[in-house]
Amino acid sequence: MSLAGKVCLITGAAGGLGSATARRLAADGVRLVLTDVDGGRLAALAEDLPVETVVHAGDVSVEADVDAAVAAGVAAFGRIDLHHLNAGVPGPLVRLPELSVADWDRVLGINLRGAFLGVRAAFRQYEVQRSGGAIVLTASIASLRASDDLLAYHASKHGVLGLLKGAALYGGPIGVRVNAVAPGIVPTALFAGAGDGPGGGDDMARRAATTPLRRPGTGDEIASVVAFLLGEGAAYMTGETVSVDGGAAAV
Ligand code: NAD
């Protein structure tokens, strides 16, 4: 059941959840291809990891950057077995009439177009390798619910589930599994931009305290489910979204 020796590409790897997956997989002996727009933090993370790691700075919404990250991984390791397509940004917290086209395009561009480009690049490589593969997308509790002040984020994360289902249908017959993890609230830089106001860290802590488990999650608690979905323990799972949210989606 071990993932040791496999190669995994992680997007948004410099961030809270991406770096948690990187550390978790590195502890399991997985070699890593790490990508993020923040090349400086990527390099610092890679220095800390006990496995062979390739870093590639790039933007998930730019086709050439996504393809170049896969090419860098293949150049270093000869193959890529697993993908955690995780990069994402929060939406602006505004009411529907105030949501700008620029913000809509930016959030959909990174969270949904970026996920599409990552899935497509993964499949193109898997079809060359002809030995199956596994992809985990980072969805969100916002993939399953909506609110009236975070429309672009909700639309992008609902879209990720449509992408997931179509990709799982395509991948099944060629041995590629595609699943998603749907985190609830995990304190990361994702909430830093909103300060202490609505959508900020304090607001999220208050919301987390009302979930059945009465606390926010940790990056490690998301990463362990990502590792499970990537591994042989999930061999009969595809097209599935697993909530890791302290029970928030259940109530
Ligand atoms: P984070 O801000 O710590 O990490 C996100 C990372 O994505 C950052 O390192 C950032 O540099 C990178 N990134 C942003 N735009 C990019 C782009 N265009 N190209 C490449 N990289 C880019 O946030 P996080 O909480 O680790 O978020 C990771 C994922 O988890 C996101 O998809 C987010 O929507 C999702 N998520 C997070 C939570 C949570 O509570 N933290 C909950 C549900 C879903």
Count of domains in the chain?
1
For 27, other C-beta atoms within 10 Å of its C-beta total: 13
CATH code where residue 52 lies:
3.40.50.720
Give residue-wise pLDDT tens across range 55-102. 999 999 999 999 999 999 999 999 999 999 999 999 999 999 999 999
Burial call 185-212: b when 16+ CB within 10 Å, e when fewer: bbbbebbeebeeeebebebbeeebeebe
d(CA 218, CA 230): 19
Q: Is residue 212 in a domain? A: no
Which one, of 91, 87, 93, lies nearest residue 103 by Cα? 91
* Nearest atom of ligand 1 to the alpha carbon of 41: 9
Which one, of 134, 177, 181, lies nearest residue 157 by Cα? 181
- State whether the beta carbon of 231 lies less than 6 angstroms from ligand 1: no
Q: Is residue 68 in a domain? A: yes
Ligand 1 center from residue 213 Cα (angstroms): 23
d(CA 125, CA 128): 5
Range of the domain at 38: 7-191+219-243
Give residue-wise pLDDT tens across range 187-245. 999 887 666 666 777 878 888 999 999 999 999 999 999 999 999 999 999 999 999 99
Task: Choose one of 37, 103, 158 to mutate for the ligand 1 pocket test, by most ligand atoms within 8 angstroms of C-beta.
Answer: 37
